[in-house]
Chain A
């Protein structure tokens, strides 16, 4: 689960997870963490600083997949199956 670092004391960070604050340890993360960074948390340990560039890259990946899907979703035969899934 991603969360945003609010404050840091030694190897402990106070992290905001969509409104819930938790202490997260920074022992095993592979980069220096600063206040304001997004981190990926697992059982109370940060396992990854999520770089902004990669967040963008992921969104760009979706955009690309969606562009490819755009023409197909308009096809009537596909539409019926998608609507059956609603």
Chain B
């Protein structure tokens, strides 16, 4: 039967409006049955927010249900000093390659795009293996500024294990999702009653990784995919668990996620990386939330190969606008972009103040592009 799955992957089935309306009806029934409002649940994935916005799902959510975006945009949570390291390296004359979204993320005084405009050599790549190919053709050093969660870190691990050229190294800003969910669940201001976990990250880690989390915090987790019906079905199941009152993990993305996950990928990930505590932008310190290269791969670790001197940056004060940015509260699920005075005025995709307005997975950019949470009381039907 392999190779004959055309019907099964018919994308129309995952986007069918009638089915979506039926699932939205189930959400309404469940929020009424729970009979508390607002019911706040958090998704931890920029791709979920993209689908929610792109397909207008928020307009079909019952008003009592608040679906908030957490720290699920890899670009947004890359901390300022990590961007600074890449910028300083580039300004020192080292060639830097990175994913396109990272180019315009502001550091303390500059982004990689600013450095490139000043003459630094900065390349945009679609994949880390493209960066390796680029290095192969060069006589100079190439540093790959690596951002993203465990899903992306696996790709970085794979190229390091595949004997890359000696002029290639990695500046890792990779992050690991499960620890940050602990932080959000423990925040005193957190209103989150359930998590919609990212299907792709869980493809690697398996859904079993969330069981200890649920046991510790008593908050349910549903693993969901990225099509509109995946998200609606995930929310329906999350509300069903909240209604029942027995927190557990449910896998609503069985076509990709297993309990154990992708063991081959995990083996590569933990062979190359070790988890260390460190800052996420807007979330502060996350124990075991950052992935750094193990000592045995020091030859490919840009932090070990180059002296990255950040001291010169501290002469600059952040701009007044930067101090007004509430990206941190938005990623912690405490605020919405519409709560930010800069949103859509001083902070727009063409000239972003905060990281959430830069990335295609950033909440502010998505809300700016698609209109965010429509106020249905002002819409005539």
Contacts of A28 in B (CB 8 A): 154-155, 157-158, 262, 264-265, 268
Given known A29-B262, A85-B59, contact A48–B233 (CB-CB < 8 A): no
**Would you call A65 and B24 a contact (CB within 8 A)?**
no
Binary CB contact string for chain B from 6 to 43 against chain A (1 if under 8 A, 0 otherwise): 00110101000001011111101100000000000000
Q: Which of A1-58 contact B (CB under 8 A)?
A: 2, 4, 18, 25, 27-30, 34-38, 40, 42-45, 47-48, 50-52, 54-58
**B contact residues, range:** 35 or more
Is B320 part of the contact surface with A, judged by Cβ < 8 Å?
no
Contacts of B256 in A (CB 8 A): 40, 48, 50, 54
**Would you call A29 and B253 a contact (CB within 8 A)?**
no
Is B312 part of the contact surface with A, judged by Cβ < 8 Å?
no
Given known A27-B268, A28-B262, A62-B19, contact A56–B381 (CB-CB < 8 A): no
Is B1 part of the contact surface with A, judged by Cβ < 8 Å?
yes
Is B126 part of the contact surface with A, judged by Cβ < 8 Å?
yes
**Would you call A55 and B158 a contact (CB within 8 A)?**
no
Nearest residue (CB) in B for A27 is: B158
Contacts of B19 in A (CB 8 A): 62, 66
| Whole-angstrom distance between the Cβ of B13 and the nearest chain A Cβ | 6
Given known A44-B155, A59-B8, contact A52–B26 (CB-CB < 8 A): no
Given known A47-B262, A52-B5, contact A78–B23 (CB-CB < 8 A): no
Give Cα distance in the complex from A81 to B57, angstroms.
14
Binary CB contact string for chain B from 258 to 288 against chain A (1 if under 8 A, 0 otherwise): 0000111100100000000000000000000
Contacts of A52 in B (CB 8 A): 1-2, 4-5, 8
Partner of A47, one of B1, B21, B99, B204: B204
Give Cα distance in the complex from A24 to B252, angstroms.
26
**Would you call B8 and A42 a contact (CB within 8 A)?**
no
**Would you call B26 and A68 a contact (CB within 8 A)?**
yes
**Would you call A45 and B154 a contact (CB within 8 A)?**
yes
Give Cα distance in the complex from A47 to B24, angstroms.
31
Given known A47-B265, A85-B376, contact A72–B8 (CB-CB < 8 A): no
| Whole-angstrom distance between the Cβ of B45 and the nearest chain A Cβ | 12
**Would you call A55 and B268 a contact (CB within 8 A)?**
no
Give Cα distance in the complex from A18 to B284, angstroms.
40
| Whole-angstrom distance between the Cβ of B344 and the nearest chain A Cβ | 24
Given known A28-B264, A69-B25, contact A61–B381 (CB-CB < 8 A): no
**Would you call B3 and A29 a contact (CB within 8 A)?**
no
Contacts of B376 in A (CB 8 A): 84-85
Contacts of B225 in A (CB 8 A): 58
**Would you call A27 and B162 a contact (CB within 8 A)?**
yes
Nearest residue (CB) in B for A44 is: B127
Give Cα distance in the complex from A56 to B62, angstroms.
29
Give Cα distance in the complex from A68 to B229, angstroms.
15
Nearest residue (CB) in A for B3 is: A36
**Would you call B262 and A54 a contact (CB within 8 A)?**
no
Nearest residue (CB) in A for B27 is: A69
Partner of B29, one of A27, A40, A50, A78: A78
| Whole-angstrom distance between the Cβ of A48 and the nearest chain B Cβ | 5
Partner of A43, one of B23, B62, B128, B252: B128
Binary CB contact string for chain B from 144 to 167 against chain A (1 if under 8 A, 0 otherwise): 000010011011011001100000
Nearest residue (CB) in B for A50 is: B255
| Whole-angstrom distance between the Cβ of B273 and the nearest chain A Cβ | 13
**Would you call B254 and A36 a contact (CB within 8 A)?**
no
| Whole-angstrom distance between the Cβ of B18 and the nearest chain A Cβ | 9
| Whole-angstrom distance between the Cβ of A11 and the nearest chain B Cβ | 8
Is B203 part of the contact surface with A, judged by Cβ < 8 Å?
yes
Q: List 5 A-B contacts (CB under 8 A).
A: A30-B263, A45-B155, A48-B256, A58-B225, A61-B254
Closest 5 CB pairs of A and B: A36-B3, A44-B127, A55-B8, A85-B60, A73-B25
A-to-B contact residues, CB < 8 Å: 2, 4, 18, 25, 27-30, 34-38, 40, 42-45, 47-48, 50-52, 54-59, 61-62, 65-66, 68-70, 72-73, 75, 78-79, 81-86
